[in-house]
A and B are shown apart, each in its own frame.
Chain A
Amino acid sequence: MQLFPCPFCGPRSESEFHFGGDAGNHRPEGFRAVTDGEWSNYLHARNNPRGAANEIWMHMTCGEVFRMERDTVHHRVARSFAPGEGDGHDGMAH
């Protein structure tokens, strides 16, 4: 069992967390026409990196959404932080 660090609750069991996708995957917005390719890229394409990953997670116990940087091969967590903290960019889909 792995512990993930919720920025609000601290280290908790992996089974309390839900994967929310790549950080920085922004929904195409505005009034311009969005092509099929752009939609599909946003909806379906994934970074799915082997190694360093930058992701959005939800801690289902407190209901908060946050960012986590971890390695997908050995599962070490580099850091996790609340939206708007860290690199100053929240990485969330707006």
Chain B
Amino acid sequence: MVFSHGAAHEAALSLVIVRPRKRQRRAMTRHYSAFSLFKEGLRGQKGWQQAWRSPQPKPRYDILIIGGGGHGLATAYYLARAHNIRNVAVIEKGWLGGGNTGRNTTVVRSNYFFPESTALYDLALRLYETLGRDINYNIMLSQRGIITLAHSEAEMEMAARTVNAMQINGTDAELFDAKDVRRVLPLLNVSPQARYPVFGGVWQGRAGTARHDAVAWGYARAADRLGVDIIQSCEVEEFLVEGGRCRGVRTSRGEIRAERTGMVVAGHSSHLAAKAGFRLPITSYALQACVSEPIKPVLDTVVLSPGTGTYASQSDKGELVIGGALDRVPSYGQRGNLPVLEDVVSGLLEMFPSFRQLRLMRQWAGIVDVTPDSSPILGESPLPGLFLNCGWGTGGFKAIPAGGTLLAHLLATGTHHDISRPFDLDRFARGRLIDEAAGSGIAH
């Protein structure tokens, strides 16, 4: 091996430095595969190309997207891929995925109650199933299933109703009895003396987890390759309104104009909406999560207990990833308070007494955008030319491929896709809420 000898290695390096033209001719590695990993191993990992550029903002684009979370980046990707609109910029005030996309507990599922919701979330899950191949980026989708527990006879009846609704709406669902639950959760406290005894639950086998950063980075890299400008450290401060239409934005790095603008800023939606002159049916809350120290595999499915209000899964690194309810106080402080964390952890210990000895490694929070019916808002805003993708609240990671597809459709055509139509802002004035808070008792 040439590189096993230090001197030879240095000589090769200095050759490269002395003769830069030769180096430029060397092909950069852009495609990710087992073969390119092997090839780069032999080349000393020097040919990898940056995953995306960091361009200066241009003064004008066809379409602007505010917010470089999963939904914003996916929107840019589908505009370029599905609609061939490539003169597009994504403007992010911080770093890609630094909002909720990089803070969530990565559960993906489509176990909702109403047909409109199943159409939306199952589109997302189906797109997730092939996303790794589509964007040539391993998003580490793991369809390990989710079990939503039922803690009483009455909850078992509701579970049966949910399973029926899901099956009629065309997604996979199974009603589990207590024996089935014990099979998938051997460490669960199933004692009849438990504060929340286990009667069974709703199982969705296609649900699971995916790697949150990989989803953001994969979409960013794929969109960049198609010509989209991704601009980080650039905050949108005002909207440019001319003739009653949104004509672009004023940012911390100057004015950027566009015919259509998409606003995809999750918990900050009301703040920007106020600058555009309207209010939204959204309240911002901190949602917390935490992880334990890493341990050997003990939990190979996602579990959610409506009784304790806690849900958990185990990451590939071995950490238990734990989440629960919203903080009680409307907030933009990205921290989370102790009372809810205490509830979440005591819920976990109620479910899994053997986790009592584990240490918590990290705790954090994201600011989520909660609507009265726990369903998202997709559609044109009251300011013409400005389009919304928000209101995902505690559960929009699972929806990223669908949210991106549908906002791209709205921005490209100016009209709704059939799947986004019911989620328009007008549902609040028309009284046609899609109440998943009541329908599926959603937590996340």
Give me the interface of A with B, judged by CB distance under 8 Å.
Answer: 1-2, 13-15, 17-19, 36-37, 39-41, 43-51, 53, 55, 72-75
Contact = CB atoms under 8 A, between A and B. Distances in A.
Of listed A1, A15, A44, A72, residue having the most chain B CB within 10 A: A44
Interface stretch (B55-63, B66-74, B134-142, B268-276): B268-276
B279 interface: yes
B94 interface: no
A57 B428 CA distance: 24
B18 interface: no
Contacts of B430: 36
Contacts of A45: 279-281, 428
Interface of B: 268, 270-271, 274, 279-284, 328-333, 337-339, 372, 428-431
Contacts of A43: 372, 428
B438 to A, nearest CB: 15
A46 B279 contact: yes
B120 to A, nearest CB: 20
B101 to A, nearest CB: 19
A33 B331 CA distance: 35
27 contacts: A1-B338, A2-B337, A14-B337, A14-B339, A40-B281, A40-B429, A43-B372, A43-B428, A44-B281, A44-B372, A45-B428, A46-B279, A46-B280, A46-B281, A46-B282, A47-B270, A47-B274, A48-B271, A48-B283, A48-B330, A49-B271, A49-B274, A72-B330, A72-B333, A73-B332, A73-B333, A74-B333
Contacts of A53: 330
Chain B binding surface, main DSSP class:
mixed
Nearest to A37: B429
Contacts of A49: 270-271, 274
Contacts of B283: 46, 48
B282 A48 contact: yes
A41 to B, nearest CB: 7
A26 B271 CA distance: 22
Contacts of B284: 48, 50, 72
Nearest to A1: B338
A15 B339 contact: yes
Given A1-B338, A44-B281, A50 B329 contact: no
A75 B334 CA distance: 11
Given A46-B279, A48-B271, 17 more contacts: A2-B329, A15-B339, A36-B431, A43-B372, A43-B428, A44-B372, A45-B281, A47-B274, A48-B279, A48-B280, A48-B283, A48-B284, A48-B330, A72-B330, A72-B332, A74-B333, A75-B329
B385 to A, nearest CB: 20
A2 B344 CA distance: 18
Given A19-B330, A72-B332, A75-B333, A50 B270 contact: yes
Contacts of A2: 329, 337
Contacts of B372: 43-44
A39 B433 CA distance: 14
A45 B430 CA distance: 14
